[in-house]
Structure 1
Amino acid sequence: MGKILSHIDLRVPDLAAVDAFYRALLPALGFTEEEDIEGWLQFRSPDGSEFFGITASPGHQANQNRIAFWGESRAHIDRIAGIIQEHGARNIEGPAPYADIYYALFFEDPAGTRLEVTFKG
C-alpha cells in the first residue's frame, strides 16, 4: 500500500498567529520543503508524497480532533517539546511514556488545534 497520509489541510482563524509555530514544527517533523502558495503556509515531505498546509478561515474554531505524527525516537519527541514551548503552543501532556512501547507528547498549536507526536519502540 505504501504511504498512508496524503495531506493535511488545516484551517486556523489567523494564519499570521500560527506562522512562526508551523515554520519551526513542520521541518522538525520531516515536512522540509516549503511551497509558495498564496494564502497558504505549506510544507511537503522531501519526496513530495505528503504535505501539510495551513490557511486562514476567520470563522474557524478548533475542535477536539487530534493530528498525530510519528516521532523518530524519544529524543526527537523531547526536541519537539522544546520547539512547541518556544513557539507559543500549549503543552497538554508529556513528553512521557504511556505504555512500555508508547512515548508521546500531546499539545495544542497557538490556534488551539490538538496535535500529538508519538514514538513506538
Structure 2
Amino acid sequence: MSLAIDHVDMRVAALGAVERFYDAFAERLGFTEKRYSKVGFGGSSWEDGSPDDYNAVEYYARESGGPRLFFGVIEEIDAQPAKSRVAFAVPEEELEEWARVLPGMGAREIELGDPSYPAVFFTDPLGTRLEVCARRPAP
C-alpha cells in the first residue's frame, strides 16, 4: 500500500473573504475543477451545492486514474485560522514566480524559506497558514 493524502478540508469563518484567493491559488497549483457543496457544522452532513447555494468549495486535481486529490474550504461559524500549515509541492524553479504572484492573489505574511529549504510561506486573507515548497531528495 502506498501512502497518499486523499483530501484536505480547511475551515474559515467567512468563505466570501477567501474564495477568490483560493480560486486563483488552486488554478495555479493545477486543481482544474471547482465544485460547490453544502456542509453541516463539523462535517456532520454533505450534499451538492450550486453557485447560488453553498458554504463550501472543493478544488479537484486532474484525473489520474485513481481517486482524485482535492482540497476543500468550508465556511464554519467561529472558525479560527489554522495554526498548522498545509504545504503544496511545486517545482523549485517556480518558487520565485510564486513569491511574485501571491500578493496579487491576496496572500499575506509572505516569507521565503532559507537556501536549505526552498519554500514560500504565507497566509490566506483570513490568516490560515499555507506554503508552497520544493523539497529536495535526500542525499
- Structure 1 segment 80-91 matched on structure 2, within 5 A: 80-91=98-109
**RMSD of the alignment, in Å?**
1.7
Question: SS of the counterpart of 1:67?
Answer: strand
Q: Does 1:109 align with 2:128?
A: no
Aligned match of 1:26: 26
What is the TM-score with the length of structure 1 in the denominator? 0.85
- Structure 1 ranges of 4+ moved more than 4 A: none
Tell me the distance in 1 between the aligned counterparts of 2:57 and 2:100: 22
Shift of 1:63: 3.1
How many residues are paired up? 117
Q: Highest Rg: 1 or 2?
A: 2
Equivalents in 2 of 1:80, 1:92: separation in Å? 10
Partner of 1:41: 57
Closer, same or farther: CA 11–108 of 1 in aligned 2, 3 Å: same
User: Tell me, which stretches of 5 or more residues in structure 2 are unaligned?
Assistant: 38-48, 50-54
More strand by share: 1
Unmatched 5+ stretches in structure 1: none
